[in-house]
Structures are given as C-alpha cells and as structure tokens.
Amino acid sequence: MRVLITGGAGFVGSHVADLAAERGHEVLLLDNLLPKAHGTSEPPAWTRGHELVVGDVRDHDLLASLLPRVDLVCHQAAVVGHGLDPSDAPEYASHNDYGTAVLLAAMHGVGLRRLVLASSMVVYGEGRYSCAEHGVVRPGPRRQSDIDAGDYEPPCPVCGAALEPQLVPEDAPIDPRSTYAATKAAQEYLASAWARQTGGHVWALRYHNIYGPRMPRDTPYAGVASLFRSALERGEAPTVLEDGNQRRDFVHVSDIALANVLACERAGEEGALTPVNVCSGTPHTVGDLARELAAACGGPEPRVVGGARAADVRHVVADPRAARDVLGFAAAVGFAEGVREFATAPLRDPVRA
C-alpha cells in the first residue's frame, strides 16, 4: 500500500510514517514545515528514512502531481492547539479547512477515494453528562462569573443540579467551542460531503489528548503535556488552570499512530464518513498529568492557579468501543508508563518564529 501523509514531518504524522513503513507500506510525506510547529526550516532528523516533499497542502498543482503515486491519503496537516485568540481564525481556516478542501478536490481529480482524516475530540465541545433527574443533557457554555468564583462544574441546563461526567460516544452532538474546534468540525463536514459525492470513504479519527516524543514545545499551539514539560525543564512548577480536576483522556502518540495505520489498512463503507474516537477510555485529570510528570522529571509540585481560558471545557473522556469494533484498536500504553517515558523523550526544537 502506498500512502501520502500530509503533515508527515509533524508530531503525529512522523509517527504514522514510521509505523506504516515498519509494517511494509510505502510512505510519501508532504509537509510545509510551518514555523508554529517546527523550530527550524530544516526537516527533522526522523524524516530522513522517508521521501519528503516540502510543500503546502493548499497547492492543488503539487497535490495533483503527488496523488497518482499513492493509494490513499492520511491527512494530518493542520494548525493545532488552543492558539491565542480569535485573531488566529483566518490562519486556522486557511490551513485546516481550505487546505482540506483543496486536498479533496485534488483527490477527486485523480479518482482517489480513500482518506484517513485527523479529527479531534474538540468537535464535541463539552463531554457527555448525566443528570439524576433528567438523564443525558448538554450543558451550556460555562459562565465567566462561575469560573471567577471557582465553580467549574457545569450544572444541568434544566434544573441546575450537579452532573455526572460520562464517556462520549461518536454519535454525540458536534458542538465546537473554539476556533480550532470549529475548523476540525468543518473538516469532517467537508470530507463527509466529498464521500457522499464521490462514493469514497473517510475514517475521521477523533484524537484525544496526545502526548509523547516529538511534541512541539514552547508554543501556545502545543498540547498541555508539552507546556508542563517545558516548564519543568526551566525548573518551574507546571501551571494548572481551574482546580486541576478537569478530566481528559491522555493517549500516547504511538497509539495514535497505530490507529491511523489500522485505518489505512481497512476499507470502509462507500459514500460515508466513519467517526472513531481514538482514546483509552480511562479518565485522568489535568492535575494527575502535572503531578505525574513533575515526579518523573524530579521537578517542583504543580501550581494550581484557578481561572480558565475562554474556550476551555470541563470534562471530555471518550468511549473507546467503536475503535475496537471497527478498527481492532485498543490503546496499549498506560498512563503512568507513558508519562514516565515522556519525561525524558526528545521534543522538537524550540519554536522561535
């Protein structure tokens, strides 16, 4: 099998490339080495074993020259992370949504019908909650006054009672609450329309909180694990927002790579997009991550400072059953084991741009 991996020099894409090649597949990498993700314009060392084309996924002519060489596309290229503020929106939309639209058009032009799409759990917004009286409910946006008062848990939108977080299934409503989340939802909608129009198939892999070797560092676009690790390397305590009890599903990048390769190896239903949570199904708090990583690095205890970023949600932990059923995927790296490894794993060069 021949696979074009967009964003193939990046955090996830490079791990997908290594594993796909290890399993006997031919890989072709496309990456524009975006400064927000790479600390240098030179391709990272881990790409040297693969063919790398430096270019932009928004370049239709370039894609048209590459796509006839492959059997499917594994689309990882994107601007990721929380970002700064709504001023980031044009850049997010250009890279994530316009880039995906150009890719889909180019795939149609050469008759390519298989796509593995890097989506994200952020499309859900808040996770799944249950009220003792009203069953499964969707809480509204958290109020700043509540956050300022240290009241972080979203109440039942009907009666105001406390809610119980539950695992989020793939059929949960899409409710993006940040610019990045909106662009990932739009990617899914574009890809779903393309599948219906062409008879193609899309695996939309909804990644949960990824950590591991080769993460970007020292950038607001990095994940929380990278921000904690960078602070510890400076001898500083990791800064934890809210009360540290917000629940997430932390997934090692090697498990993310495995889910991608399994999706590449499996044909799906023609004319459809199939969403799949890529997760462990086991909740850990952001505070857990900070404490485990601080202990593994021999650094200071985390500093819990309250507050929250405007688009932050409280709890998101996914149901892993569909990934097992349709892809044969189950996360293999345990939380404690993965965090210990991450404490000394190589990260990207610091971003200076």
* DSSP class per residue in 46-58: GGTTSEEEE--TT
332's tokens? 């293999």
Q: Is there a contact between 69 and 2 (Cβ–Cβ < 8 Å)?
A: yes
Q: Give the single-character DSSP code of 242.
A: B
Q: Please provide the DSSP assignment of 132-189 as one string.
A: TTTEEE---PPPHHHHHTT--SPPPTTT----EEEPBPTTSPP---SHHHHHHHHHHH
Query: What's residue 190's pLDDT?
Result: 98
Q: Is there a contact between 31 and 11 (Cβ–Cβ < 8 Å)?
A: no
With a cut of 50, list the residues of the chain below it in pLDDT.
Answer: 353
Q: In the chain, what's the furthest Cα-to-Cα distance?
A: 58
Q: Residues 125, 257, 293, 332: what is their CA dihedral angle, to the nearest 10 degrees?
A: 100
189's tokens? 């909608």
d(CA 228, CA 234): 10
| Closest alpha carbon to 286 in 182, 343, 179, 211 | 211
Task: Count Cβ atoms below 10 Å from residue 63 Cβ, excluding itself.
Answer: 26
> Dihedral of CA 70/73/76/78: which sign?
positive
**How many angstroms separate the first and last alpha carbons of the chain?**
37
Tell me how far CA of residue 51 lies from CA of 8, 29, 104, 121, in angstroms: 10, 6, 22, 31
Helix (H, G, I), strand (E, B) or coil at 61: helix
Helix (H, G, I), strand (E, B) or coil at 281: coil
CB proximity list for 55: less than 8 A, separation 6 or greater: 30, 31, 32, 62
Note the Cα 112 to chain centre separation in Å.
25
Query: What is the domain partition of the chain in residue ranges?
Result: 2-128+167-343
- In a 13 Å sphere around the CA of 253, the CA atoms on its Cβ side amount to 25
Query: What's residue 179's pLDDT?
Result: 93
Query: Which residue bears the tokens 């972080």?
Result: 152
CATH architecture of residue range(s) 2-128+167-343: 3-Layer(aba) Sandwich (3.40)
Query: What's residue 353's pLDDT?
Result: 44
Query: What's residue 216's pLDDT?
Result: 84
| Closest alpha carbon to 121 in 194, 172, 189, 190 | 172
Q: Which residues pair with 318 in a beta bridge?
A: 168
d(CA 15, CA 345): 14
